[in-house]
Amino acid sequence: MAEMENAKTAFALFSLGAAGRQCGPLVIHVINDPELFKQFKIRGVTRDPTYDKDVMDSAVAVGAQYFILNTLSNTIEITRGKYQHIDHFDVKHDIEKYTRAQPLKSGFFIQNFTHNIAPRPLAMGHMSL
């Protein structure tokens, strides 16, 4: 009976990319934290980032208040056109721009920016990716 009561009062936490390097730890943290686990009804799926726009539209349609998105930079912009058609980056960046225009609170994070592609100091105060 307590589980049914929790289902009625818990907030939904829907994670796209629940098995990924960014969303996976979030889902695991909520599951392992007794207080958060009581507060959230978790649903996680793996996905192709090109479907995130459809999911965003659905979230807006059902009245979601928050949307957290993992994102990447637009490679054409950050390389001044040197690298183009890096679809994994560019699709996520396009979805970020679309998300920012939606009527809900959104959060973005770029985990790899502090690990795999963290800026590295160069001479004379310059940085390199």
Find how far residue 1's CA is from the centre of its chain: 33
Strands 40-45 and 11-16: parallel
One-letter amino acid of 3: E
> What is the pLDDT, as a whole number, of residue 34?
92
Whole-model pTM? 0.59
Q: What are the C-alpha distances in Å from 11 to residues 41, 66, 67, 96? A: 6, 11, 13, 24
pLDDT digits (tens), the chain, 129 positions: 444 444 455 677 777 777 777 778 888 888 899 998 888 888 777 777 777 788 888 888 888 877 777 777 888 888 888 888 888 888 888 888 888 888 887 776 655 555 556 667 788 777 776
Give residue limits of the domains in the chain: 2-128
